[in-house]
Structure 1
Amino acid sequence: MTTLRFIEHLSELVADVDVVLSDIWGVVHNGLESFPEACAALKTARAEGRTVILITNAPRPAASVQRQLRKLGVADDSYDAIVSSGDLTRNFVAERSGQSVFWLGPQRDNSIYRGLDPVFAPLESADYIVCTGPFDDETESAEDYRVMMGQALQRKLTLVCANPDIVVERGDRLVYCAGAIAELYRELGGEVIFYGKPHRPIYERTLAIAQALRGAPVPLNRVLAIGDSVRTDLAGAQGFGIDCLFVTRGIHAEAFEGLDGLDALQVRELFGHPPRALTRELRW
């Protein structure tokens, strides 16, 4: 299949869906403000009996993500649960309480360690690295960390990436995330453990929560993922066997202008295997 299906409303796609897995950043908000129609769409999906789980590459625990959503005006009744890459990273740190960690990331991500009391150490003596992003994502890119990653490689340190995103929207700008640094380290030959989309652990955790909430196993053909990134949302859903509704207004907005005029080869180059459907923005 290489043709693209465009829809205007989520309601066109969910008649046979029991569980909705929605990305947050780029679908529900842009980092500065929420998208009211998207929030209303998820709330309506829940009102009709579906389970809505927000699945995010945020390098923070779910409770911290929820606090941010509330500040942006996303109501709690828009979703049933939140699963974050931050929570999976916390599990990794908790299982290694006797080891020291070099933390690469901004201070605002400190909630990822709340209640864990890890031993922090400089790069020269740490046992592993946790990367939640650049120290200053307003001005830095992965290239600013090439020397540091070379030093880490010499020590053969494992880098745990708490956010596989390369970039995210912040208002009308794109800023770099932990995934950009992690990919650089992997290109240099370093060992990287990714928690978050498109990797399987976050989907396994999310579907386990969905099963617990619904009280029964959920067939994958009755699950719909929603996202705005080819590399994380679409690839992750397809790799796990889940259909995806792709939102084009997010980080790839410029690339998706004129989508309805693409031929089959261009579709394959852009998506690989196309999503179940595309929409400019999420609305019921």
Structure 2
Amino acid sequence: MQIIEALAEVSDRYHALFVDLWGCVHDGVRALPGAVEALTAYRAGGGRVILVTNSPRTRAGVAAQIAQFGVPDTAYDDIATSGDSARVAMFGGVVGERVWHLGQSHDAAFFEPPAILDHPARIERVPLEAAEGIVCTGPFDPMADPETLRPEFEAALGRGLKLLCANPDIVVDRGEIREWCAGALAALYAEMGGESLYFGKPHPPIYDLARRRLAKVETVADAEILAIGDGPGTDAAGAMGEDLDLLFISGGLAATDTGTGPDGRPDPTRLARFLDAEGITPTYTIGRLR
């Protein structure tokens, strides 16, 4: 594993990048300038960039969100979202047609039928007691302990409901504030004995979607794709599962554990200890994408 200082040190070995968003390109509040500059320069040199995110939002919703954060469309070619991958499955009827929505109102677009399906299921949001399945786009309150939903989950378990998880992330950092994500709720439901269905990283469906997005602009072999991300159980596990080279961002979720300081450099000893403990074998590591 090689610790690098800048993407440009290795980017000429790849024709495309699969890049995580939160913690790599933005912090949930604003764009990270170094990352935007690096991706824009990579594309200017002929490289392709597909943003691969566990956001439960649609591609259009994510594009609008990151534009507000200051991420220009010159920094990427297309976006593959966990939300789009999960939405196709939901409208395919994997958890039934009457669903209990566990999430916030800003995820309403998740329930709009995707254009790629000719005959989508007629999804109706109903109270839990009338539901055939659960669709989880995130907590009602991202600051609340997932355990607060145990009573509802016990009721759902008693009826054998499946849970569709639109975002496998456990936590994210919005600026300096850590929030719970849908993945934490899906993990609790599975721990309690329920069946949780995943479509984002590290699971194959979102990578299939990312490859389809990439194929629309250029045909690129897997050996020429570099995955970039900061999530050990999502970005790293997904890249390793897909046999893609990985650039691990140590200054995101793992900043404290890897000793990545304000200068953007990880402590080699702490980094090695962290990677070993997590079972991660990245091709490269960088403190922050730049």
TM-score, reference length from structure 2? 0.91
User: What residue in structure 2 maps to residue 224 of structure 1?
Assistant: 226
Structure 1 stretch displaced more, 266-275 or 219-228: 266-275
What displacement does 1:25 show? Answer: 0.5
Taking the aligned partners of 1:243 and 1:153, their CA distance within structure 2 comes to 39
Q: 1:256 aligns with which of 249, 255, 258?
A: 258
1:1-284 paired onto structure 2 within 5 Å: 4-96=1-93, 99-115=97-113, 118-137=123-142, 139-214=143-218, 216=219, 218-257=220-259, 259-262=267-270, 266=273, 269-283=276-290
What displacement does 1:141 show? Answer: 2.0
What displacement does 1:232 show? Answer: 0.2
Kept in 2, the 8 Å contact 1:27–1:228? The answer is: yes
Kept in 2, the 8 Å contact 1:267–1:274? The answer is: no
- Whichever residue aligns with residue 22 of structure 1, its letter is V
Kept in 2, the 8 Å contact 1:134–1:141? The answer is: no
Kept in 2, the 8 Å contact 1:27–1:247? The answer is: yes
Structure 2: state its 5+ residue gaps.
Answer: 115-121, 260-265
What is the percent sequence identity of the aligned residues? 40
TM-score, reference length from structure 1? 0.93
Cα deviation code 1:226-251 (max 9, x no counterpart): 10110100000000010111111111
What displacement does 1:211 show? Answer: 1.9
Structure 1: state its 5+ residue gaps.
Answer: none
Cα deviation code 1:10-42 (max 9, x no counterpart): 011112201100000000111111111101111
Taking the aligned partners of 1:193 and 1:166, their CA distance within structure 2 comes to 15
Taking the aligned partners of 1:228 and 1:263, their CA distance within structure 2 comes to 13
* Larger RCO: 1 or 2 (CA < 8 Å, sep 6+): 1
Taking the aligned partners of 1:259 and 1:152, their CA distance within structure 2 comes to 45
Cα deviation code 1:169-210 (max 9, x no counterpart): 111111000000000111111111101000011001111221
Q: 1:145 to 1:263 in 2, by over 3 A?
A: closer
Taking the aligned partners of 2:270 and 2:28, their CA distance within structure 1 comes to 31
Q: How many residues align?
A: 276
Taking the aligned partners of 2:236 and 2:113, their CA distance within structure 1 comes to 33
RMSD between aligned alpha carbons? 1.7
Cα deviation code 1:68-106 (max 9, x no counterpart): 011111101110000001111211222239711110001
